Structure 1
Amino acid sequence: MGAEITDAKPLDAPALKPLKLANRLAGRPERPPTYGTTIQSSDGQEVVLGDPRATRALVALMNVHAVNGGAACHWGGPAALAEIMSATHGLMFAQQDRPWYEAFHFVNDAGHTENGVYALRANLGFDQMTFEDLKGFRSIESKLTGHGESHLNPEGVLLSNGPLSSAVGQSQGLAMADKTAGNDRVTLLVLSDGASMEGEAKEAFSAIPGLAAKGKVNPFVMILSDNQTKLSGRIPDDSFDMAPTFNAMETLGWQVIDVPEGHDLQSVYRAIEQAIATARGNDHQPVLVRVRTVKGYGVKATEENASGGHGFPLKGGEKIVEFVSEICGGEVPEALMNWAQELRSQWEAQEAAKAAAKGTSPSVKKDKIQSGLAQAAIQAAQEGYPVFSVSSDVQGSTGIASFQKSFPDRFVEVGIAESNMVSVGAGYAKIGFIPIVDTFGQFGVTKANLPLTMAALSQAPVIAIFSHVGFQDAADGASHQATTYFAAISSIPHTVVIAPSCSGEAHALMHAAIKKYAEDRQAGRDGESYVFFVGRENYPIHWIDG
């Protein structure tokens, strides 16, 4: 491309003013929290905030309702961020001279912690929310979806979240648009360390301070939960340490405030209070509040778990009384204890009903479809095919983890970075390996679309397992529902799209794909990429025996 040559000249136009858009966010709560705790602000004033212990207890209780309805839930993330969310909401809602949303943009990129936001806001009475509303969490009738969805819950969500780091660039855009419009507003972005591994986040980490230094960004505060833990385990153990990235933020142009005790509510409150004041005082430099948290905080078993109890560990109400008691240090508010005991009683009734119905109908052996894909990869490796797995954190969900456990020297995890994963797989293909990449369908067809295209154009085909497609992931919200998966991938050249219907079929098709891949490549042909789309539910291993 050559230099642009044009004789266009600046023109006169009416003053630039944004369209007048109606606000849909709810106002500040009109009552104190049902379960509050008192801290002191930097000027010595007493401030009543939502009690983080109550947030954790409410998350546990609402999660049991969702589990009883058949939905998986998050626990470790909201438990880690309870103090961050309590302090941030307390500071936003303390704004007295105008509506809080005119003074602040609040963006939660950590969508897996959104149930903690719901729990806190029900405690505060935000948007007239009650504890009864929490019982509908992840149900089809509720606007409280697994991740925040602004199209369903515009009263509570400004930017939809779910795919990690998707809201970082949008937050940058909010702050830049405010600067262009002349609005007096601070953007508050809550981010997880796992999201910081994504390319979108790293682009914004550089762009926000770079453009702020040129006067193009309104006051910007990013609050980072740093616990070095993601869905599948500890980040440094599984992939690589993120500490160098965070240590470099000051060099990139951020002012950094470090909070070593991320579960000391007063320390967290004062750090965010200081960050807001600093950003308002100098909008030419954004502020990062690096909060050291513990994923799964409040329950010893999840704190010590490698994934921090990313997924809610209880499968029903059997142990909810003990779980909530540990969160609250044995001093559970009466209403919450009654709620927990009611869930325990429901579990006992369900177990009695199961026992009474046992043996009344023949059982059909079932398994997840992706199990067949992994077993075929294991078989192919045993037969001598150079299969190599490249993952981006969700290998336990996609099923390929069983291959990785069988051959611990034949896989690598690149961190939470789906685009990078596919590109790395293409590199392995060029050297002569048979790479298998894996992630959730929605992330595969969006973040990995261009790398899949470039793999095809580079004669570097990959085999992909993209799981949780379609409405089988309905409870996680629209951000996770890969409804365009066939259309998004089928038009890529040299790409074969496969949707097996059961584990047995998946095994046969994956083995055939690996065999054909090897035959084509060894014969000097370019080869095809094979993309397997599967859901998340259990199905009969075979629809017809034999």
Structure 2
Amino acid sequence: MNTSLAWLPADEFTRILDGIPDRHDRNKAFADAARINTLYSIMRAGSGHIGSSFSAADTVAWLLLEEMRSPFAGDGDIYFSSKGHDAPGLYSALIALGALPQEKLHQLRRLGGLPGHPDVSIPHMHANSGSLGMGISKAKGMILANRLTGVNRRVYVLTGDGELQEGQNWEALAGAVHRGLGELTVIVDHNKIQSDTWVAHVSDLGDIEAKFAAFGWGVLRCDGNDAHELDEAFRLREKEHAGKPAVIIADTVKGAGCATFAATSMPDGEWRYRFHSGAPAADDYLGAHRELTTAVDTLLARHGLAPLTFSHADTAPPAKATGPRLPEVYGRALAERARTDERIVALDADLVLDTGLIPFSETLPERFVECGIAEQDMVSMAGGLASRGLLPFVHSFSCFLHARPNEQMYTNASEHRKVVYVGSLAGLLPAGPGHSHQAVRDVSAVGAIPGLVVLEPANSAEARAAVGFCAETDASVYLRLVSTPVPDEAEALGAEPLATGHGRVVRAGGRTVAIGSGPVVLTQLLRAADLLAADGVDLTVVALPWLNRVDSGWLSALAADTDDLFVVENHYTHGGQADLLARALLELGAERVASFTGIGLTDVPLCGTEAEVLDAHGLSAERLAARIQDRIRPATGS
């Protein structure tokens, strides 16, 4: 069913800017109009971060309209978001000011459009976001570069309050003072909620003002959703703290601008903020749209201007895939296992909803540790738990878990501590959030850690079996979980007992063989096999869930019946399963070696819908079938 969505064309923003002389009213009207377009773009995309975009909207408007010198010129002041979730709101403001083409408003999270998180490929986006906490350090480097090249540019960085749990923020503070970086202003979007719940309940920040001041920073505080207070804070910043870095702690409301999304409207006792990510329901959209429209129209009327005039687009919401989600299946299995295995402790990095840990946290709260946005701390803590005989299961998104605490993982291995690392949101999909959240180098990053096994289950049955394997094996494990719903083809494969390094044939065929792991790759291979069958190619599909282990005897038997071998992976081609198997095949020293092709990503993953991104990277069933057909030996016919 199509939904009519309303958006504001650029000339409506021009009318606001030209027709409202009072800059505080103008800022409020602009911010709320930008919220309307932010909401539109998220609804059209089917996903995005409303709460964070809305909490920062007034601050972003003030910076772009009043504070920054020539923000769109090559030598003008710089603003960027370190927290990144507010990208849809920043895009809307840039489009409203003509800094981005208006048609981009309709292309959030689409291939060739606007990525779900900041990316420097988009004009006026000065830094990418990734694992949080990098922004202040990046700003310091920009300022030093400006000084070396003789350019006087102020730099403004927006951070989240939950983001301040990351240690790199605090590493950055002393050096900024030491070098007298008076060009640097950090604004903390202090909306009190990180991801889905309250910062104070996850890992309380304490007295933020005192902490910044202790490093020698100038510190100010204001209501970040009030233009009058923002104005005063920035004036005081220049008057009282010139010549040194300063922070403005902007107290905001997550979802500010309308009661529908405002965290102040959360029911008593509700721990979860419902609008952190994803598109709202139709009723919530309509209610919020009415609230925001009324707010802007009221300001327009105050200055003798006509109400807003909208453009409309009838759009069907993106189809939502059905099927089990492996983190949820895994989480229930872990909680069940932990009831009888008292060694198990679960640690989480501010992603309890997305890592499937709600059942564990509710049934075994004494053995659940919420670490907040602090992966290095979490992984080292796990090493300490393991040193006392416990079995820690460590959880985050794969993109964050394999990278920032990589050294800590290696140290745990050097101490022979058994730890289970569980990375959700693994691989190319979902593609909407963009490359900062697409974990496609994790296998290469952790696969060489001594004593660590990398395992990727293909479906619910295999995920449940993986929990048992993780608990029973002597090895540490990196459990790689795809978070998108498992397609029917992969779910129907069931599971066999897990034996390290052994795979299984999931579609019997001829001497053309494709190996893969996980629900995304195996589903596309099974579909590719159907396409190839129509062309007379009988593809054998093999599931090998072990990404850094292979049994030589099993591989030798498979290779003996293979003419053309393809290894397809939801990962970069370097350092993944294909490299492992190619080396293993060479070391077998067989007289006859099958032709070998590795297929995977070769460039930074793209942002867009699942279908268009799989196809763009050559991992759709159609592209895989074509690649296999082109590569196989013409004489085999199979």
Give the TM interval when normalised to the shorter protein: 0.7 to 0.9
Indicate whether 1:220 and 2:184 are aligned: yes
2:193 alignment partner, SS class: coil
Instruction: Give the residue type in structure 2 aligned to 1:300.
Output: A
What is residue 133 of structure 1 aligned with on the other side? 104
**Residue type at the aligned position of 2:215:** L
- 1:192 matched to 2:173: no
2:198 equivalent to 1:234: yes
Alignment of 1:498-517 (within 5 A): 498-516=455-473
Which range moved further: 470-479 or 490-499?
470-479
Paired residue type of 2:292 = I
Unaligned segments of structure 2, at least 5 residues: 1-9, 298-306, 496-638
User: In 2, are the aligned partners of 1:388 and 1:433 still within 8 Å (CA)?
Assistant: yes
1:288 paired residue number: 247
1:89-128 deviations in Å (ceiling 9; x for gaps): 1135554xx974424122211200011001111222223x
Residues of 2 paired with 1:112 and 1:407: CA distance?
31
Asked if the contact 1:112–1:162 (Cα under 8 Å) also holds between the matched residues in 2, the reply is no
Note if 1:89 corresponds to 2:53: no
**% identical equivalent positions:** 21
8 A contact 1:456–1:494 mirrored in 2:
yes
Q: Aligned partners of 2:358, 2:392: CA distance in 1, in Å?
A: 14
Counterpart amino acid of residue 125 in structure 1: G
Deviations 1:295-353 (A, max 9, x none): 111333432344544434645545422221123346665544x538x45xx56xx99xx
In the other structure, the counterpart of 2:479 is 532
Aligned partners of 1:444 and 1:466 also within 8 Å: yes
**Residues 398 and 166 of structure 1: CA distance in aligned 2, closer, same or farther (over 3 Å):** same
Q: Output the CA distance in 2 between the equivalents of 1:140 and 1:211.
A: 42
Q: Where in structure 1 are there 5+ consecutive unaligned residues?
A: 1-28, 355-363, 517-526
**In 2: Cα distance, 1:307 partner to 1:54 partner:** 27
Report the counterpart of residue 493 of structure 2 in structure 1.
544
In structure 2, relative to structure 1, the CA distance for the partners of 1:505 and 1:35 (3 Å cut) is farther
Structure 1 residues 274 and 100, CA, compared in 2 at 3 Å: closer, same or farther?
A: farther
- 8 A Cα contact 1:296 1:310, kept in partner: yes
Matched residues in 1 for 2:280 and 2:198: separation?
A: 23
Q: Residue 207 of structure 2: which of 230, 244, 256 is its match?
A: 244
CA distance in 1, matches of 2:221, 2:45: 36
Residues 109-508 of structure 1 mapped to structure 2, 5 A cutoff? 109-127=82-100, 129-130=101-102, 132-142=103-113, 144-150=114-120, 152-153=121-122, 155-212=123-180, 217=181, 219-239=183-203, 241-259=204-222, 261-276=223-238, 282-283=242-243, 285-302=244-261, 303=263, 304-305=265-266, 306-312=271-277, 314-315=279-280, 317=282, 319-329=284-294, 334-336=308-310, 339=312, 342=314, 346=316, 366-508=323-465
- Call closer, same or farther: CA 1:445–1:65 in 2, change over 3 Å: same
**Aligned pair in 2 of structure 1 residues 31, 171: CA closer, same or farther (>3 Å)?**
farther
- Matched AA of 1:225: D
Which whole-Å CA distance do the structure 2 matches of 1:329 and 1:420 have between them?
46
CA distance in 2, matches of 1:244, 1:507: 43
- The superposition leaves residues 408-428 of structure 1 with CA deviations (integer Å, 9 ceiling, x where unpaired) of 221111211111111111111
Q: Is contact 2:116–2:432 with CA below 8 Å preserved after alignment?
A: yes
Relative to structure 1, the CA distance from residue 538 to residue 32 in structure 2 (aligned partners, 3 Å threshold; closer, same or farther) is: closer
For 1:128-162, what per-residue CA distance to the aligned partner results, in whole angstroms no more than 9, with x for missing partners? x21x42111001131x1110111x21x12111114
Q: Is the 8 A contact 1:176 1:218 kept in 2?
A: no
Alpha-carbon offset, residue 488 of structure 1: 0.6
TM-score by length of 1: 0.79
Q: Is the 8 A contact 1:92 1:100 kept in 2?
A: no
Letter in 1 for 2:115: T
Whether contact under 8 Å (2:77, 2:153) holds in the other structure is yes
What are the superposed Cα offsets for residues 350-387 of structure 1, whole Å, 9 maximum, x if unpaired? 99xx9xxxxxxxxx982111223212211221223321
Measure, in 2, the Cα distance between the counterparts of 1:267 and 1:156. Answer: 26
1:47 Cα deviation after fit: 6.9
Distance 1:330 1:219, change over 3 A: closer
Q: Which amino acid aligns with 1:229?
A: I
> Size of the alignment, in residue pairs?
468
Partner of 1:7: none
Structure 1 contact 63–312 (Cα < 8 Å) conserved: no
Classify 1:93/1:30 alpha carbon distance in 2 versus 1 (closer, same or farther; 3 Å).
Answer: farther
Q: Distance in 1 between matches of 2:116 and 2:30?
A: 22
Q: C-alpha separation between the residues in 2 aligned to 1:237 and 1:99?
A: 39
| RMSD of aligned Cα (Å) | 2.9
The residue that corresponds to 1:357 in the other structure is none
- Aligned residue for 1:257, secondary structure, equals strand
SS at match of 1:395: coil
Q: 1:467 to 1:126 in 2, by over 3 A?
A: same
Separation in 2, partners of 1:124, 1:433? 56
TM-score w.r.t. length of structure 2: 0.68
Contact 2:28 2:58 in 1 (8 A): no
Check whether the contact 1:163–1:443 (CA below 8 A) recurs between aligned residues: yes
Structure with higher Rg: it is 2
**Is the Cα contact below 8 Å between 2:33 and 2:296 reproduced in 1?**
no
Deviation of 1:177 (Å): 2.4
Counterpart contact for 1:497–1:532, Cα < 8 Å: yes
Q: Specify the SS of the correspondent of 1:474.
A: coil
Distance 2:259 2:323 in 1: 33
1:169 offset after TM fit, Å?
0.9
